[in-house]
Amino acid sequence: MVYISSKTIALPAVVDLDALDPIRDELIEALDSGPVTLTCAGVERVATNALLMFLSAAETARQNHFAFAVAEPSEPFRAAVGRLGLGAQFAAIMEG
C-alpha cells in the first residue's frame, strides 16, 4: 500500500526571485508524495518567474495524478496573473 500525503505550502508576502529557491525545493519534495495546495492569502507581490513555476508544478502534479491547487489567492496575486495573461492557465487550479 502506498501512502499519499497532502502538503500545504503557505507562500510568503513577497514571492520574488530571492524566495523562489526554498519554495521550489518544497514543491519538488511535495510533488513526489501527493496533492499540493499553495495558500496565497498573504501574498503582496509575486514575480513572473514564480507564477510560471507554479504552472509547471501544476503540470507535474497532473502527470503524477495528484491534485494541485492555488487556494485563497490575494488580490495582488490575482492581479499579477491577470496582467500576465495567465488567467486561463490558473483558472483550473485557483480556488477561492
> Tens of pLDDT along 16-59?
999 999 999 999 999 988 999 999 999 999 999 999 999 999 99
Instruction: Tell me what pLDDT residue 96 has.
Output: 72
Per the CB < 8 A criterion, the answer to whether 89 and 55 are in contact is yes
* DSSP secondary structure letters along 65-88: T--EEEES--HHHHHHHHHTT-HH
pTM for this entry: 0.92
Per-residue pLDDT band for 94 (boundaries 50, 70, 90) equals very high
The second-level CATH assignment, the architecture, of 7-95 is 2-Layer Sandwich (3.30)
Neighbours of 19 (CB within 10 A): 17
